Amino acid sequence: MQLTLHLNGIPICEEIAPDTLLLDFLRAHGCKSVKRGCETSNCGLCTVFLDGRPILSCSFLAARADGHAVTTLEGLQEEAKEFTAFIADQGAEQCGFCNPGFVMNALALFRENSDPDETEIKEYLAGNLCRCSGYEGQLRGIKNFLEWKKRGGAS
């Protein structure tokens, strides 16, 4: 079947097998930031945006993205950098394998809620597993980032 979509702002139109998962489609198109950590929609590593909203690309048929805009971390480098520097300052990126999914979902959170409290942060990101960090360093990084934003984003 034919699939037409925008991937990180670039129009794509091509033939795909109807059972292609969005995750596999994206990786085949060079978006290697999209990771697979499970087969059961439990880890959040495959998080991407569909029309700006986070979805799990491992449990989403590519066909369903027809006519939509898909964004991966490859397409959000600048927006991400501002935030990820705060995670790096904590050393909370560790192995890094969960990072892209986590960063995508965190950006989605910030877009939806510019001032989330701790409970809201934990709730929103609950589906993003990380086995290395114990989450505490990620939380410190998020809080520092939000603080910085509140102060107007100046260093």
Partner 1 sequence: MKTVNQPVQKKDAMQLLGGQPVYVNDLAPEECLIVKLLRSPHPNALIAEIDTEAAQRAAGIEAVYTWKDVPQDGVRFTLAGQTWPEPSPQDRLLLDRHVRFVGDPVAIVAGRNERCVDRALRMIKVKYEVLDAVLDFRTAKDHPVLVHPEENWEALCDVGADNKRNLCARDADQKGDVDAVLATCDVVLERAYHTKACQQTMMEPFGAFCSIDTYGRLHIVSSTQIVFHCRRIVAKALGIPKSKIRVEKPRIGGGFGAKQTAVMEIYPAFVTWKTKKTSKLIFSRKECMTASSPRHEMEMQVRIGAMKNGHIRAIDLYTLSNTGAYGEHGPTTVGLSAHKSISLYGKLDAFRFESDVVYTNRMSAGAYRGYGATQGIYAVETAVNELAEQLGMDPIRLREQNIVREGDTMMAYYGEPNTSCALDRCIARVKEMIGWDEKYPCRDMGNGKVRGVGIGLAMQGSGISGVDVGSAALKVNDEGFYTLRIGAADMGTGCDTILAQIAAEVLECSVDEVTVFGADTDASPYDSGSYASSTTFVTGKAVEYAATELREKICALGARMLGCEAQAVSFDGERVLCELDGRSVSRAEIASASQCGNTIALESSYTHSCPTSPPPFMAGAAEVEVDLETGETQVIQYVAAVDCGTPVNPNLARVQAEGGILQGIGMTLTENITYNQDGKVLENSLMQYKIPTRQDIGHIRVEFESSYEKLGPFGAKSIGEVVINTPLPAVTAAIHNACGVWFRELPITPEKIVLGQMEKRKIST
Q: In the complex, what is the shortest distance from the CB of residue 101 to ligand FES, in angstroms, rounded to a whole number?
A: 8
Cβ nearer to partner 1, comparing 19 with 152: 19
Which is nearest to 86 in space by CA: 70, 106, 101?
A: 106
Q: In the complex, what is the shortest distance from the CB of residue 150 to ligand FES, in angstroms, rounded to a whole number?
A: 26
Q: In the complex, what is the shortest distance from the CB of residue 21 to partner 1, in angstroms, rounded to a whole number?
A: 11
Interface ranges with partner 1 (CB under 8 A): 17, 28, 32-33, 35-40, 42-43, 45, 72-74, 77, 80-81, 84-85, 87-100, 103, 122-123, 125-139
Cβ nearer to partner 1, comparing 50 with 94: 94
Q: How far apart are CA 53 and CA 30, in angstroms?
A: 21
Cβ nearer to ligand FES, comparing 52 with 91: 91
Helix (H, G, I), strand (E, B) or coil at 55: strand
Q: How far apart are CA 82 and CA 104, in angstroms?
A: 13
For residues 106 and 127, the answer to whether their CB atoms sit within 8 Å is no
Cβ nearer to ligand FES, comparing 39 with 115: 39
Around Cβ 68, how many Cβ atoms within 10 Å? 13
